[in-house]
Amino acid sequence: MDVLEPFRLSNRVAIVTGASSGLGARFARVLVGAGASVVVAARRADRIEALAKEHDCVAVPCDVTDAADRDRLMTATLERFGRVDILVNNAGIGVPEPAEAETPERFAEVLDVNLTAAFALSQLVGRSMLEAGRGNIVNVVSILGIVSAGQIPFPSYAASKGGLIALTRELAGEWSRRGVRVNALAPGWFESEMTAEMFADERSMTWVRRKAPMGRPGQPHELDGALLFLASDASSYVTGQVLAVDGGWTAV
């Protein structure tokens, strides 16, 4: 028996949003490496086109907050592959700002990208999955949807990720009997475009090393196994769960 077989994604079709850089681009590479046919989506067309050329993906420029763009992403995927087996909702924005200073307009903008768009795309793709009787959605959330960072003020981002965790559980509850599993991947402190300034600041890194039980931030490859687990049949009896990859941050 091949114990790795459940992790293989041959003949699976995946959409990854927010794939123009950082963790999203890596998620796409990991899924391709496991055998999936991957459609990468993001606003920065030049970046996803370069990624697609390098890793044999399909690039579809997409602003996830735009209904026409979401429809075009879904149509392009179905025209090319005929179905969607995996959706990774990774697109997200956020800039630290104290709660007393963040405007309601900015708060709404962050929720629109991080939560509302994830729901709209899950609904669009989910209808196709429900019709097929199978599918798998992985929502990329954050430990800030589980606990407060405290020293790093992030009200809109934390609210959006907390909401996405609740949405993950609700969709799992509604759709799991119909063959569609929905789970969430919650990274701790990993370097990305959003955290680049923090990683460049030694005081911030000292804080992370002091607070994290494992004494360090995460390395990008340390999310690979968790993503593959949630995206594959290895997690066939797992739904509505939040898998934190955070060096123990939320355990203490």
The type of residue at 12 is R
**Angle between helices 117-132 and 67-81 in degrees, nearest 10:** 30
Whole-number pLDDT of residue 189: 93
Do residues 114 and 160 lie in contact, with contact meaning Cβ atoms separated by under 8 Å? Answer: yes
Enumerate residues 6+ apart whose C-beta is below 8 A from 190. Answer: 23, 217, 218, 219, 220, 223
Q: Which of 27, 154, 157, 189 is catalytic?
A: 157
User: Is there a catalytic annotation at residue 237?
Assistant: no
Of 155, 163, 119, nearest in space to 137 by CA:
119
Domain boundaries, the chain: 9-244
Look at the block and give the residue holding tokens 């370097």.
Answer: 191
**Tokens describing residue 244:** 């934190």
HSE at residue 93, side-chain half, CA atoms within 13 A, is 15
Q: How many helices (H) and strands (E) does the chain have?
A: 9, 7
Residue-by-residue pLDDT tens, the chain, 252 positions: 688 899 999 999 999 999 999 899 999 999 999 999 999 999 999 999 999 999 999 999 999 999 999 999 999 999 999 999 999 999 999 989 999 999 999 999 999 999 999 999 999 999 999 999 999 999 999 999 999 977 788 999 999 999 999 999 999 999 999 999 999 999 999 988 888 888 988 998 999 999 899 999 999 999 999 999 999 999 999 999 999 999 999 999
What topology does CATH give the domain 9-244? Rossmann fold (3.40.50)
- Residue with token string 């009787």: 133
Quickly list DSSP for 174-233.
HHGGGTEEEEEEEE-SB-STTTHHHHT-HHHHHHHHHHSTTSSPBPGGGGHHHHHHHHSG
Asked if 164 and 115 count as a contact pair (C-beta separation under 8 A), the reply is yes
